[in-house]
Structure 1
Amino acid sequence: MRALGRAVHAELLRVFSLRTWWILAVVLGLYVAVTAGGFAFFVSSSELNGPGPLPAEVAAPLVYSSTTSVALVVPLLFGALLATSEYRWRTLTPTLLAQPRRVVVLAGRLIVALVLGALYGVIGAVVSVAAGAPVLAAFGTDPLLAEPEVLGLLARTVLACALWSLLGLGLGALLTSQIAAIVIVLVFTQFVEPILRIVAGAAEWSAEAARYLPGAATDSLVGAGILASIGQLDPTVPGVIEPLTRLEGGLVLAVLSLALVALAAATTLRRDVD
Protein backbone atom coordinates (compact mmCIF):
# COMPACT_ATOMS: atom_id res chain seq x y z
CA MET A 1 0.00 0.00 0.00
CA ARG A 2 2.89 2.36 0.74
CA ALA A 3 4.31 1.79 -2.74
CA LEU A 4 0.91 2.45 -4.29
CA GLY A 5 0.55 5.66 -2.27
CA ARG A 6 3.94 6.86 -3.53
CA ALA A 7 2.96 5.98 -7.08
CA VAL A 8 -0.30 7.95 -6.80
CA HIS A 9 1.54 10.89 -5.27
CA ALA A 10 4.13 10.85 -8.06
CA GLU A 11 1.42 10.74 -10.72
CA LEU A 12 -0.47 13.62 -9.13
CA LEU A 13 2.71 15.68 -9.00
CA ARG A 14 3.35 14.94 -12.65
CA VAL A 15 -0.21 15.86 -13.64
CA PHE A 16 -0.40 19.09 -11.66
CA SER A 17 3.05 20.23 -12.75
CA LEU A 18 1.78 20.49 -16.32
CA ARG A 19 -0.81 22.84 -17.79
CA THR A 20 -2.71 20.14 -19.66
CA TRP A 21 -5.13 19.26 -16.87
CA TRP A 22 -6.39 22.79 -16.24
CA ILE A 23 -6.48 23.70 -19.93
CA LEU A 24 -8.76 20.70 -20.45
CA ALA A 25 -10.82 21.82 -17.43
CA VAL A 26 -11.28 25.29 -18.94
CA VAL A 27 -12.23 23.80 -22.31
CA LEU A 28 -14.76 21.51 -20.65
CA GLY A 29 -16.24 24.36 -18.60
CA LEU A 30 -16.67 26.64 -21.60
CA TYR A 31 -18.06 23.84 -23.77
CA VAL A 32 -20.59 22.80 -21.14
CA ALA A 33 -21.58 26.41 -20.34
CA VAL A 34 -22.40 27.20 -23.97
CA THR A 35 -24.16 23.87 -24.50
CA ALA A 36 -26.22 23.95 -21.29
CA GLY A 37 -27.25 27.56 -21.84
CA GLY A 38 -28.16 26.84 -25.45
CA PHE A 39 -30.12 23.71 -24.56
CA ALA A 40 -31.97 25.58 -21.81
CA PHE A 41 -32.94 28.38 -24.18
CA PHE A 42 -34.03 25.98 -26.89
CA VAL A 43 -36.14 23.63 -24.74
CA SER A 44 -37.84 26.40 -22.76
CA SER A 45 -38.60 28.85 -25.54
CA SER A 46 -42.12 28.43 -26.93
CA GLU A 47 -41.12 30.25 -30.10
CA LEU A 48 -38.65 27.48 -30.91
CA ASN A 49 -40.79 24.54 -29.81
CA GLY A 50 -44.03 25.01 -31.68
CA PRO A 51 -46.91 24.43 -29.27
CA GLY A 52 -44.81 25.23 -26.22
CA PRO A 53 -41.69 24.47 -24.18
CA LEU A 54 -40.72 20.94 -23.22
CA PRO A 55 -42.00 19.67 -19.85
CA ALA A 56 -39.60 20.36 -17.00
CA GLU A 57 -39.04 16.66 -16.31
CA VAL A 58 -37.57 16.32 -19.82
CA ALA A 59 -36.00 19.78 -20.23
CA ALA A 60 -34.05 19.97 -16.96
CA PRO A 61 -32.30 16.55 -17.26
CA LEU A 62 -31.40 17.30 -20.88
CA VAL A 63 -29.77 20.58 -19.86
CA TYR A 64 -27.91 19.10 -16.89
CA SER A 65 -26.65 16.17 -18.96
CA SER A 66 -24.71 18.54 -21.22
CA THR A 67 -21.40 17.23 -19.85
CA THR A 68 -22.08 13.64 -20.85
CA SER A 69 -23.87 14.65 -24.05
CA VAL A 70 -21.07 16.69 -25.62
CA ALA A 71 -17.99 16.97 -23.38
CA LEU A 72 -16.97 13.41 -22.50
CA VAL A 73 -14.14 13.82 -24.97
CA VAL A 74 -12.30 15.84 -22.28
CA PRO A 75 -11.95 13.15 -19.57
CA LEU A 76 -11.37 10.57 -22.29
CA LEU A 77 -8.59 12.69 -23.74
CA PHE A 78 -7.10 13.31 -20.31
CA GLY A 79 -6.90 9.58 -19.61
CA ALA A 80 -5.26 8.93 -22.97
CA LEU A 81 -2.70 11.71 -22.41
CA LEU A 82 -1.99 10.42 -18.89
CA ALA A 83 -1.00 7.07 -20.38
CA THR A 84 0.88 8.29 -23.45
CA SER A 85 2.76 11.35 -22.17
CA GLU A 86 5.67 9.35 -20.77
CA TYR A 87 6.08 7.56 -24.10
CA ARG A 88 5.87 10.90 -25.88
CA TRP A 89 8.52 12.57 -23.70
CA ARG A 90 10.52 9.38 -22.99
CA THR A 91 10.26 9.69 -19.23
CA LEU A 92 8.99 6.16 -18.66
CA THR A 93 12.46 4.74 -17.96
CA PRO A 94 13.10 6.99 -14.91
CA THR A 95 9.59 6.18 -13.66
CA LEU A 96 10.26 2.44 -13.81
CA LEU A 97 13.69 2.85 -12.25
CA ALA A 98 12.01 4.57 -9.30
CA GLN A 99 9.26 1.94 -9.15
CA PRO A 100 10.20 -1.26 -11.06
CA ARG A 101 6.85 -2.96 -10.41
CA ARG A 102 4.82 -1.92 -13.44
CA VAL A 103 1.57 -3.08 -11.90
CA VAL A 104 2.05 -0.49 -9.13
CA VAL A 105 2.72 2.24 -11.67
CA LEU A 106 -0.38 1.25 -13.62
CA ALA A 107 -2.52 1.08 -10.49
CA GLY A 108 -1.35 4.57 -9.50
CA ARG A 109 -2.34 5.93 -12.88
CA LEU A 110 -5.67 4.16 -12.71
CA ILE A 111 -6.47 5.90 -9.42
CA VAL A 112 -5.34 9.29 -10.74
CA ALA A 113 -7.40 8.83 -13.91
CA LEU A 114 -10.51 8.13 -11.82
CA VAL A 115 -9.88 11.07 -9.49
CA LEU A 116 -9.22 13.62 -12.23
CA GLY A 117 -12.07 12.23 -14.33
CA ALA A 118 -14.38 12.72 -11.35
CA LEU A 119 -13.03 16.26 -10.96
CA TYR A 120 -13.94 17.01 -14.57
CA GLY A 121 -17.38 15.55 -13.85
CA VAL A 122 -17.83 17.88 -10.88
CA ILE A 123 -16.80 20.87 -12.98
CA GLY A 124 -19.20 19.86 -15.74
CA ALA A 125 -22.08 19.26 -13.34
CA VAL A 126 -21.60 22.62 -11.58
CA VAL A 127 -21.26 24.55 -14.83
CA SER A 128 -24.29 22.88 -16.42
CA VAL A 129 -26.45 23.95 -13.47
CA ALA A 130 -24.93 27.43 -13.26
CA ALA A 131 -25.42 28.06 -16.99
CA GLY A 132 -28.68 26.19 -17.56
CA ALA A 133 -30.85 26.64 -14.47
CA PRO A 134 -31.13 30.47 -14.70
CA VAL A 135 -32.15 30.26 -18.36
CA LEU A 136 -34.79 27.62 -17.62
CA ALA A 137 -36.16 29.73 -14.77
CA ALA A 138 -36.12 32.90 -16.88
CA PHE A 139 -38.42 31.24 -19.42
CA GLY A 140 -40.76 29.84 -16.79
CA THR A 141 -39.49 26.23 -16.77
CA ASP A 142 -38.90 24.73 -13.34
CA PRO A 143 -35.15 23.91 -13.06
CA LEU A 144 -36.00 21.10 -10.60
CA LEU A 145 -32.82 21.66 -8.59
CA ALA A 146 -34.36 20.24 -5.42
CA GLU A 147 -35.52 17.03 -7.10
CA PRO A 148 -33.69 13.84 -6.05
CA GLU A 149 -33.70 12.67 -9.68
CA VAL A 150 -31.75 15.74 -10.79
CA LEU A 151 -29.29 15.44 -7.90
CA GLY A 152 -28.82 11.77 -8.79
CA LEU A 153 -28.23 12.69 -12.43
CA LEU A 154 -25.48 15.12 -11.43
CA ALA A 155 -23.85 12.48 -9.21
CA ARG A 156 -23.96 9.93 -12.04
CA THR A 157 -22.38 12.52 -14.35
CA VAL A 158 -19.36 12.56 -12.04
CA LEU A 159 -19.20 8.76 -12.12
CA ALA A 160 -19.52 8.68 -15.92
CA CYS A 161 -16.65 11.14 -16.37
CA ALA A 162 -14.45 9.09 -14.03
CA LEU A 163 -15.15 5.96 -16.07
CA TRP A 164 -14.47 7.75 -19.37
CA SER A 165 -11.12 8.95 -18.02
CA LEU A 166 -10.32 5.34 -17.16
CA LEU A 167 -11.43 4.32 -20.65
CA GLY A 168 -8.97 6.86 -22.09
CA LEU A 169 -6.21 5.53 -19.85
CA GLY A 170 -6.79 2.01 -21.17
CA LEU A 171 -6.80 3.22 -24.77
CA GLY A 172 -3.65 5.27 -24.31
CA ALA A 173 -1.82 2.50 -22.49
CA LEU A 174 -2.69 0.09 -25.30
CA LEU A 175 -1.65 2.40 -28.14
CA THR A 176 1.27 4.28 -26.47
CA SER A 177 1.27 6.72 -29.41
CA GLN A 178 -0.03 10.09 -28.25
CA ILE A 179 -0.94 11.28 -31.73
CA ALA A 180 -2.81 8.06 -32.55
CA ALA A 181 -4.69 8.20 -29.24
CA ILE A 182 -5.76 11.83 -29.76
CA VAL A 183 -6.92 11.17 -33.32
CA ILE A 184 -8.91 8.07 -32.32
CA VAL A 185 -10.50 9.85 -29.34
CA LEU A 186 -11.62 12.81 -31.43
CA VAL A 187 -12.80 10.82 -34.43
CA PHE A 188 -14.67 8.23 -32.38
CA THR A 189 -16.44 10.62 -30.00
CA GLN A 190 -17.27 13.36 -32.49
CA PHE A 191 -18.11 11.33 -35.60
CA VAL A 192 -18.02 7.53 -35.47
CA GLU A 193 -20.20 6.73 -32.46
CA PRO A 194 -22.88 9.41 -33.07
CA ILE A 195 -23.27 8.15 -36.63
CA LEU A 196 -23.31 4.52 -35.52
CA ARG A 197 -26.03 5.21 -32.96
CA ILE A 198 -28.25 6.93 -35.51
CA VAL A 199 -27.72 4.29 -38.21
CA ALA A 200 -28.10 1.38 -35.76
CA GLY A 201 -31.66 2.40 -34.94
CA ALA A 202 -32.75 1.31 -38.41
CA ALA A 203 -32.71 -2.42 -37.56
CA GLU A 204 -33.61 -4.34 -34.42
CA TRP A 205 -30.39 -6.35 -34.22
CA SER A 206 -28.13 -3.32 -34.70
CA ALA A 207 -30.16 -1.26 -32.24
CA GLU A 208 -29.64 -4.00 -29.65
CA ALA A 209 -25.87 -3.94 -30.25
CA ALA A 210 -25.75 -0.13 -30.19
CA ARG A 211 -26.98 -0.10 -26.59
CA TYR A 212 -23.51 -1.28 -25.58
CA LEU A 213 -21.60 1.54 -27.27
CA PRO A 214 -19.87 3.77 -24.67
CA GLY A 215 -22.03 6.82 -25.41
CA ALA A 216 -25.28 4.88 -25.32
CA ALA A 217 -24.22 3.16 -22.09
CA THR A 218 -23.43 6.57 -20.64
CA ASP A 219 -26.89 7.91 -21.49
CA SER A 220 -28.32 4.85 -19.74
CA LEU A 221 -26.16 5.38 -16.66
CA VAL A 222 -26.84 9.12 -16.38
CA GLY A 223 -30.51 8.81 -17.33
CA ALA A 224 -30.51 11.59 -19.92
CA GLY A 225 -28.83 12.73 -23.13
CA ILE A 226 -29.72 14.19 -26.50
CA LEU A 227 -30.96 10.98 -28.12
CA ALA A 228 -32.32 9.65 -24.83
CA SER A 229 -34.40 12.80 -24.29
CA ILE A 230 -35.68 12.71 -27.85
CA GLY A 231 -36.69 9.12 -27.26
CA GLN A 232 -38.75 10.15 -24.24
CA LEU A 233 -40.78 12.46 -26.47
CA ASP A 234 -40.98 10.30 -29.58
CA PRO A 235 -39.62 6.71 -29.50
CA THR A 236 -40.12 6.39 -33.28
CA VAL A 237 -37.43 8.95 -34.16
CA PRO A 238 -34.52 7.32 -36.08
CA GLY A 239 -31.51 6.68 -33.86
CA VAL A 240 -33.54 6.21 -30.69
CA ILE A 241 -32.78 2.85 -29.10
CA GLU A 242 -34.08 1.12 -25.99
CA PRO A 243 -31.66 2.08 -23.19
CA LEU A 244 -29.98 -0.22 -20.75
CA THR A 245 -30.73 0.13 -17.06
CA ARG A 246 -28.57 2.55 -15.10
CA LEU A 247 -26.70 -0.31 -13.45
CA GLU A 248 -26.14 -2.02 -16.80
CA GLY A 249 -24.88 1.20 -18.36
CA GLY A 250 -22.38 1.70 -15.56
CA LEU A 251 -21.22 -1.90 -15.77
CA VAL A 252 -20.72 -1.65 -19.55
CA LEU A 253 -18.51 1.42 -19.13
CA ALA A 254 -16.55 -0.18 -16.29
CA VAL A 255 -16.03 -3.43 -18.21
CA LEU A 256 -14.91 -1.62 -21.39
CA SER A 257 -12.46 0.52 -19.42
CA LEU A 258 -10.98 -2.31 -17.36
CA ALA A 259 -10.79 -4.57 -20.41
CA LEU A 260 -8.62 -2.03 -22.25
CA VAL A 261 -6.42 -1.54 -19.18
CA ALA A 262 -6.06 -5.31 -18.72
CA LEU A 263 -5.25 -5.81 -22.41
CA ALA A 264 -2.60 -3.10 -22.23
CA ALA A 265 -1.17 -4.64 -19.06
CA ALA A 266 -0.96 -8.05 -20.74
CA THR A 267 0.66 -6.77 -23.93
CA THR A 268 2.06 -3.25 -24.26
CA LEU A 269 3.21 -2.78 -20.68
CA ARG A 270 5.18 -6.05 -20.73
CA ARG A 271 7.49 -4.82 -23.49
CA ASP A 272 11.04 -3.78 -22.80
CA VAL A 273 11.58 -0.03 -22.39
CA ASP A 274 14.44 1.58 -24.28
Structure 2
Amino acid sequence: MISASTHAGNATPFSKRLESLLSSNMNSRRAESREWRNTYQIFPLAYADAALYDLEPPKVTTLYGIRVPQGPKQVVRYDDGTGDELPVPLGTTAFVSGKTMFEMLPPELKSLAVRARAKYAPRPFAGIKDAKAMSTGLGIATKGLDELDDWDEEKVKTYPFLWKNPITHNLHFMVHPCAVREIFVDPLPANVPKRETHLYPDGAHLTDLDGVRTLLYRMQRPAIAPRLVYPHDWNERDLMIFHNRGLMHSVVGLFREDDLRVFHQCNLAATDQPEGPNEEDRAGIYALMN
Protein backbone atom coordinates (compact mmCIF):
# COMPACT_ATOMS: atom_id res chain seq x y z
CA MET A 1 0.00 0.00 0.00
CA ILE A 2 1.19 3.49 -0.82
CA SER A 3 -0.63 6.36 0.84
CA ALA A 4 0.43 9.97 0.53
CA SER A 5 -0.99 13.29 1.59
CA THR A 6 0.04 16.91 1.74
CA HIS A 7 -0.87 18.90 4.83
CA ALA A 8 -0.95 22.60 5.57
CA GLY A 9 -0.92 24.52 8.82
CA ASN A 10 -0.05 23.69 12.39
CA ALA A 11 -1.68 20.27 12.32
CA THR A 12 1.08 18.74 10.18
CA PRO A 13 3.06 16.97 12.96
CA PHE A 14 -0.15 15.44 14.34
CA SER A 15 -1.25 14.30 10.90
CA LYS A 16 2.01 12.49 10.26
CA ARG A 17 1.87 10.68 13.60
CA LEU A 18 -1.76 9.70 13.05
CA GLU A 19 -1.04 8.45 9.53
CA SER A 20 1.66 6.21 10.97
CA LEU A 21 -0.77 4.80 13.55
CA LEU A 22 -3.50 4.23 10.96
CA SER A 23 -1.08 2.59 8.55
CA SER A 24 0.32 0.21 11.16
CA ASN A 25 -3.18 -0.80 12.25
CA MET A 26 -4.45 -1.36 8.73
CA ASN A 27 -1.40 -3.29 7.62
CA SER A 28 -1.58 -5.55 10.67
CA ARG A 29 -5.06 -6.60 9.59
CA ARG A 30 -4.26 -7.58 6.01
CA ALA A 31 -5.87 -10.98 5.44
CA GLU A 32 -3.15 -12.57 3.33
CA SER A 33 -4.94 -15.94 3.27
CA ARG A 34 -8.06 -14.50 1.60
CA GLU A 35 -8.64 -13.57 -1.99
CA TRP A 36 -8.26 -9.79 -2.17
CA ARG A 37 -11.77 -9.31 -3.60
CA ASN A 38 -13.28 -11.09 -0.60
CA THR A 39 -11.30 -9.22 2.05
CA TYR A 40 -13.07 -8.22 5.22
CA GLN A 41 -11.70 -5.35 7.25
CA ILE A 42 -12.38 -3.40 10.41
CA PHE A 43 -12.34 0.31 11.19
CA PRO A 44 -8.76 1.43 11.88
CA LEU A 45 -9.64 4.43 14.09
CA ALA A 46 -12.41 7.01 14.45
CA TYR A 47 -11.15 10.52 15.05
CA ALA A 48 -11.45 14.25 14.42
CA ASP A 49 -8.44 16.14 13.11
CA ALA A 50 -6.88 17.56 16.26
CA ALA A 51 -3.51 17.44 17.99
CA LEU A 52 -5.25 17.38 21.41
CA TYR A 53 -2.08 18.92 22.84
CA ASP A 54 -0.85 22.53 22.59
CA LEU A 55 -2.93 23.38 19.47
CA GLU A 56 -6.70 23.90 19.25
CA PRO A 57 -8.83 21.63 17.02
CA PRO A 58 -9.31 22.87 13.45
CA LYS A 59 -12.83 23.98 12.56
CA VAL A 60 -12.74 22.73 8.98
CA THR A 61 -10.82 20.06 7.08
CA THR A 62 -10.50 19.80 3.31
CA LEU A 63 -9.67 16.61 1.42
CA TYR A 64 -8.83 16.54 -2.27
CA GLY A 65 -8.55 13.24 -4.11
CA ILE A 66 -5.61 13.18 -6.53
CA ARG A 67 -5.15 9.45 -7.09
CA VAL A 68 -7.93 7.11 -5.99
CA PRO A 69 -7.44 3.32 -6.16
CA GLN A 70 -10.06 1.41 -8.11
CA GLY A 71 -11.48 -1.95 -7.14
CA PRO A 72 -14.51 -3.80 -5.81
CA LYS A 73 -16.27 -2.82 -2.64
CA GLN A 74 -14.98 -4.23 0.62
CA VAL A 75 -16.90 -5.07 3.78
CA VAL A 76 -16.22 -3.53 7.17
CA ARG A 77 -16.80 -6.17 9.81
CA TYR A 78 -17.31 -4.59 13.23
CA ASP A 79 -16.15 -7.83 14.86
CA ASP A 80 -17.64 -6.94 18.25
CA GLY A 81 -20.22 -9.69 18.59
CA THR A 82 -23.08 -7.70 17.02
CA GLY A 83 -22.72 -9.08 13.51
CA ASP A 84 -22.69 -5.54 12.11
CA GLU A 85 -21.12 -5.16 8.68
CA LEU A 86 -20.87 -2.20 6.31
CA PRO A 87 -20.12 -2.43 2.55
CA VAL A 88 -17.73 0.38 1.62
CA PRO A 89 -15.98 1.62 -1.52
CA LEU A 90 -12.27 0.87 -1.74
CA GLY A 91 -10.22 3.50 0.08
CA THR A 92 -13.24 5.33 1.49
CA THR A 93 -13.37 7.98 4.18
CA ALA A 94 -16.21 7.07 6.53
CA PHE A 95 -18.04 9.80 8.46
CA VAL A 96 -20.12 9.74 11.65
CA SER A 97 -22.22 12.62 13.00
CA GLY A 98 -21.38 13.93 16.47
CA LYS A 99 -24.85 15.48 16.59
CA THR A 100 -26.49 12.09 16.06
CA MET A 101 -24.10 10.53 18.56
CA PHE A 102 -25.39 12.88 21.26
CA GLU A 103 -29.06 12.97 20.31
CA MET A 104 -29.52 9.20 20.34
CA LEU A 105 -28.19 8.83 23.89
CA PRO A 106 -30.71 7.89 26.58
CA PRO A 107 -31.56 10.70 29.06
CA GLU A 108 -29.18 9.49 31.79
CA LEU A 109 -26.21 9.56 29.40
CA LYS A 110 -27.26 12.92 27.96
CA SER A 111 -27.30 14.29 31.51
CA LEU A 112 -23.77 12.98 31.95
CA ALA A 113 -22.56 14.29 28.58
CA VAL A 114 -23.59 17.91 29.26
CA ARG A 115 -21.60 17.86 32.52
CA ALA A 116 -18.50 15.96 31.38
CA ARG A 117 -15.05 17.07 30.23
CA ALA A 118 -12.32 14.89 28.74
CA LYS A 119 -8.70 15.43 29.73
CA TYR A 120 -6.34 14.17 27.06
CA ALA A 121 -2.98 12.55 27.57
CA PRO A 122 0.14 14.65 26.92
CA ARG A 123 1.19 14.30 23.27
CA PRO A 124 -1.34 11.47 22.97
CA PHE A 125 -0.47 10.28 19.47
CA ALA A 126 3.12 9.75 20.48
CA GLY A 127 1.90 7.85 23.54
CA ILE A 128 -0.20 5.40 21.50
CA LYS A 129 2.12 4.96 18.53
CA ASP A 130 2.61 1.26 19.30
CA ALA A 131 -1.02 0.59 20.28
CA LYS A 132 -3.69 -1.22 18.26
CA ALA A 133 -7.18 0.15 17.69
CA MET A 134 -10.35 -1.68 18.68
CA SER A 135 -12.14 -3.47 15.86
CA THR A 136 -14.82 -0.75 15.76
CA GLY A 137 -12.25 2.06 15.73
CA LEU A 138 -13.62 3.48 18.98
CA GLY A 139 -10.53 3.46 21.14
CA ILE A 140 -7.47 1.37 21.86
CA ALA A 141 -7.55 -2.40 22.32
CA THR A 142 -4.18 -2.54 24.07
CA LYS A 143 -3.29 -0.61 27.22
CA GLY A 144 -1.61 2.19 25.30
CA LEU A 145 -0.81 5.74 26.48
CA ASP A 146 2.87 5.24 27.14
CA GLU A 147 4.37 7.62 29.67
CA LEU A 148 6.35 10.40 27.99
CA ASP A 149 9.03 12.60 29.52
CA ASP A 150 9.00 15.54 27.13
CA TRP A 151 5.74 17.43 27.70
CA ASP A 152 4.37 20.59 29.28
CA GLU A 153 1.37 20.54 31.65
CA GLU A 154 0.20 23.92 30.33
CA LYS A 155 -0.20 22.41 26.86
CA VAL A 156 -2.36 19.48 28.00
CA LYS A 157 -5.93 19.86 26.73
CA THR A 158 -9.25 19.39 28.49
CA TYR A 159 -12.39 19.80 26.38
CA PRO A 160 -16.12 19.35 27.02
CA PHE A 161 -17.66 16.15 25.70
CA LEU A 162 -20.09 18.26 23.67
CA TRP A 163 -19.01 20.91 21.16
CA LYS A 164 -21.58 23.50 20.12
CA ASN A 165 -22.04 24.52 16.51
CA PRO A 166 -21.89 28.35 16.64
CA ILE A 167 -24.40 28.67 13.77
CA THR A 168 -27.03 26.02 14.51
CA HIS A 169 -26.31 25.80 18.27
CA ASN A 170 -26.58 22.01 18.01
CA LEU A 171 -24.45 19.97 20.39
CA HIS A 172 -22.04 17.42 18.94
CA PHE A 173 -20.47 14.57 20.92
CA MET A 174 -16.81 15.04 20.05
CA VAL A 175 -14.54 12.90 22.23
CA HIS A 176 -11.43 11.25 20.79
CA PRO A 177 -11.66 7.89 22.61
CA CYS A 178 -8.11 6.67 21.97
CA ALA A 179 -6.47 9.71 23.57
CA VAL A 180 -8.54 10.42 26.72
CA ARG A 181 -6.78 9.84 30.03
CA GLU A 182 -9.26 11.25 32.57
CA ILE A 183 -12.87 12.44 32.77
CA PHE A 184 -14.24 15.24 34.96
CA VAL A 185 -17.97 15.31 35.71
CA ASP A 186 -19.58 18.39 37.25
CA PRO A 187 -22.23 17.81 39.96
CA LEU A 188 -25.89 18.33 39.22
CA PRO A 189 -27.15 21.81 40.14
CA ALA A 190 -28.82 22.10 43.53
CA ASN A 191 -32.22 22.78 41.92
CA VAL A 192 -32.18 19.49 39.96
CA PRO A 193 -33.68 16.57 41.91
CA LYS A 194 -31.27 13.66 42.16
CA ARG A 195 -32.70 10.41 40.87
CA GLU A 196 -31.36 6.87 40.81
CA THR A 197 -30.99 7.07 37.05
CA HIS A 198 -28.58 10.02 37.24
CA LEU A 199 -24.95 9.05 36.77
CA TYR A 200 -22.44 10.74 39.10
CA PRO A 201 -24.99 13.24 40.49
CA ASP A 202 -22.39 14.59 42.95
CA GLY A 203 -19.73 14.92 40.27
CA ALA A 204 -16.70 12.71 39.71
CA HIS A 205 -13.09 12.55 38.60
CA LEU A 206 -12.59 9.30 36.67
CA THR A 207 -8.96 8.23 36.38
CA ASP A 208 -9.16 4.46 35.82
CA LEU A 209 -8.25 4.12 32.14
CA ASP A 210 -10.26 0.94 31.59
CA GLY A 211 -13.30 2.56 33.18
CA VAL A 212 -12.88 5.72 31.12
CA ARG A 213 -12.71 3.73 27.89
CA THR A 214 -15.66 1.52 28.83
CA LEU A 215 -17.85 4.54 29.52
CA LEU A 216 -16.90 6.27 26.28
CA TYR A 217 -17.53 3.10 24.29
CA ARG A 218 -20.98 2.78 25.82
CA MET A 219 -21.78 6.35 24.78
CA GLN A 220 -20.29 6.28 21.28
CA ARG A 221 -20.87 2.79 19.89
CA PRO A 222 -24.61 3.20 19.01
CA ALA A 223 -23.82 6.08 16.62
CA ILE A 224 -21.52 4.03 14.39
CA ALA A 225 -24.20 1.49 13.48
CA PRO A 226 -23.95 0.77 9.73
CA ARG A 227 -27.07 2.77 8.85
CA LEU A 228 -25.56 5.88 10.47
CA VAL A 229 -22.16 5.83 8.72
CA TYR A 230 -21.55 7.71 5.47
CA PRO A 231 -18.69 6.13 3.46
CA HIS A 232 -17.74 8.54 0.67
CA ASP A 233 -17.14 6.94 -2.73
CA TRP A 234 -14.11 8.91 -3.89
CA ASN A 235 -13.45 9.94 -7.47
CA GLU A 236 -10.31 11.70 -8.58
CA ARG A 237 -10.58 15.49 -8.18
CA ASP A 238 -13.32 15.23 -5.57
CA LEU A 239 -12.98 18.06 -3.05
CA MET A 240 -14.58 17.55 0.34
CA ILE A 241 -14.94 20.31 2.93
CA PHE A 242 -16.31 19.15 6.26
CA HIS A 243 -17.04 20.45 9.75
CA ASN A 244 -14.20 19.00 11.81
CA ARG A 245 -15.82 20.03 15.09
CA GLY A 246 -19.02 18.14 14.33
CA LEU A 247 -17.98 14.98 12.48
CA MET A 248 -15.70 12.08 13.27
CA HIS A 249 -14.14 10.17 10.41
CA SER A 250 -12.07 7.11 9.65
CA VAL A 251 -9.74 6.19 6.80
CA VAL A 252 -10.89 2.75 5.66
CA GLY A 253 -9.36 0.30 3.22
CA LEU A 254 -7.13 -2.69 2.65
CA PHE A 255 -5.02 -2.21 -0.45
CA ARG A 256 -2.93 -4.30 -2.79
CA GLU A 257 0.78 -3.54 -2.80
CA ASP A 258 0.54 -1.73 -6.14
CA ASP A 259 -2.45 0.48 -5.21
CA LEU A 260 -1.75 4.20 -5.07
CA ARG A 261 -3.87 6.54 -2.94
CA VAL A 262 -2.80 10.21 -3.01
CA PHE A 263 -4.75 12.98 -1.28
CA HIS A 264 -4.16 16.57 -0.29
CA GLN A 265 -5.42 17.34 3.19
CA CYS A 266 -5.54 20.80 4.73
CA ASN A 267 -6.58 21.90 8.21
CA LEU A 268 -5.41 24.79 10.36
CA ALA A 269 -5.32 24.83 14.14
CA ALA A 270 -7.99 27.21 15.43
CA THR A 271 -7.36 30.18 17.70
CA ASP A 272 -10.22 29.33 20.07
CA GLN A 273 -11.36 26.26 21.96
CA PRO A 274 -14.61 24.45 21.15
CA GLU A 275 -17.60 25.92 22.97
CA GLY A 276 -19.45 23.53 25.26
CA PRO A 277 -23.07 23.48 26.47
CA ASN A 278 -24.33 26.46 28.48
CA GLU A 279 -26.74 26.49 31.42
CA GLU A 280 -29.77 26.67 29.13
CA ASP A 281 -28.59 23.60 27.23
CA ARG A 282 -28.06 21.70 30.47
CA ALA A 283 -31.45 22.69 31.87
CA GLY A 284 -33.18 21.31 28.79
CA ILE A 285 -31.42 17.97 29.22
CA TYR A 286 -32.11 17.79 32.96
CA ALA A 287 -35.81 18.30 32.21
CA LEU A 288 -35.79 15.03 30.26
CA MET A 289 -35.03 13.19 33.50
CA ASN A 290 -38.18 14.45 35.26
Q: TM-score, normalised by structure 1?
A: 0.29
**Between Structure 1 and Structure 2, which shows a larger proportion of strand residues?**
2
Please report the TM-score for the alignment, with normalisation by the length of structure 2. Answer: 0.27
